[in-house]
Amino acid sequence: MKNSLNSLTLLLPLFFLFSCSAPQTAVEETPPTVSKNTGTDISATAALSLKEEFQPTADKDTNANSQSCNNEQVKLTSDFAAGRMDECKRTGEYEYSITLVPENTPINSSPWYAFKIQAKQVTDITITMQVQGDKHRYPPKISRDGNKSWQLQDYQLKGERLIMKVKASPQSVTIAAQEIINNQYYVDWAEELTVQSAFTQSILGLSTQGRPIYKIESRDENSNEWVVILGRQHPPEVTGALALFPFVETLLSESELSKYFLRKYNVLVIPNINPDGVHAGNWRSNANGMDLNRDWNDFSQIETQLINDYLKGLVAQGQKIKFAVDFHSTKNDIFYTMPVDYGVESSYFVRHWLGELDRQMPNFNVVLRPGNNPNLGVSKQYFSDQFGVHAITYEMGDNTDRTKIKRIAFKSANILMINMLSETDHDKE
């Protein structure tokens, strides 16, 4: 399953002129290009003025947001894990209108959608998609092989309406905002990672709606220092997940460097912190409508509580949290860091690490964004304040070349291990 995402081929949109978030061309096996984001500014929480709020339900087995647009010939449905189209209407013989609605407001502008199309006979249909009170962020992708591989779907933007023509057929196709990485995908990935190794996958606890939150651990009895890897606090941020997988695979690989690293450091990976949000196709929140990456001060949500309790339990047993990486997506590739003068140990450690990444990847511009937001409730700040160590928010661009995401993850994980094992004095520049 992992390899299927490697073959993502983003095709040039036909209608670049209208492009809202034009993906760069990305062809497998070509040299990486520096990501030049031509997308719209997505800072739009203030622009939202929605009248209705989505009420999450406790339904665990079907997607709470699912809705069907059915007639005898054509069927549009989002009744599957991570599926979502909120409102669907048939507006003409072969025309459909979909409205995307956030789970609550105000909210970060990340309108997620994922739906399947099937027809009795081959039929050309037109889908118009709009966002209630907001605008599109993700150019549509299409999968014709059961979500194994994805291509960019041609589309036009007319004002705030995204219009696409799709050939519907008896073989169902999926249209989605990004590649679909649902809860099951994580379980399968972790099983593959842990099946023939000493790494363990276990359930850390249950989410608000009772879904398992898994942790993967590599633990050496002679080591008491931990690197913590977190992912998917924000459900639509799929490129963050596409970076987490190769990053973790590199740390936990069979390489000599990994073996040496894993004798010195323990690794805790919680790859999917928000399984309810992922299942529902939420734009941002967990099942209570809360942004988990604003909850690392209050711990009002079970998902953040579980992790906080677990980490504090480790520390109570004499273990030490040494470093943390939290994977996300945004418009561009950015590493949010703690400032060198924040007072955490090894002040220059992150600068050394990512500076070396910048040197080793001349075609990738490493952007560091140091910041200190004590009241925001983000995980990065929590790790620094609670454990006195560095932590970063690792953000991959929505439209960054998928092969390049892997390459950056592989390089950055290897350089991280070298830096954590080196004798370099990270208290000095």
Q: How far is the CB of 248 from Zn ion (least distance, A)?
A: 18
Q: Which of 330, 413, 415 is nearest to 369 (CA)?
A: 330
Residues that bind Zn ion (CB under 5 A): 234, 237, 328
Three-state DSSP at 185 gives: helix
Q: Which of 145, 140, 131 is nearest to 13 (CA)?
A: 140
d(CA 212, CA 291): 19
53 catalytic? Reply is no
Residue in 217, 237, 249, 395 annotated catalytic = 395
Neighbours of 145 (CB within 10 A): 12
| Per-residue tokens: 125 | 């249909």
Residue number, 279 or 284, with CB nearest to Zn ion: 284
Q: How far is the CB of 284 from Zn ion (least distance, A)?
A: 8
Residue number, 135 or 284, with CB nearest to Zn ion: 284
d(CA 269, CA 246): 13
Residue number, 183 or 258, with CB nearest to Zn ion: 183
Q: How far is the CB of 293 from Zn ion (least distance, A)?
A: 6
d(CA 42, CA 421): 39
Residue number, 142 or 269, with CB nearest to Zn ion: 269
Instruction: Say if residue 106 is preceded by a cis peptide, omega within 30 of 0.
Output: yes
Could you tell me what percentage of the chain is helix, strand and coil, using 3-state DSSP and rounding each to the nearest 5? 25, 25, 50
Q: How far is the CB of 402 from Zn ion (least distance, A)?
A: 18
Q: Which amino acid is at 358?
A: D
Contact at 8 Å (CB) between 350 and 420?
Answer: no
Which residue has its beta carbon closest to Zn ion? Answer: 328
Q: How many helices (H) and strands (E) in the chain?
A: 9, 19
Residue number, 19 or 330, with CB nearest to Zn ion: 330
Neighbours of 286 (CB within 10 A): 28
| Per-residue tokens: 17 | 């002129």
Q: How far is the CB of 234 from Zn ion (least distance, A)?
A: 4
So which residues are the catalytic ones?
395
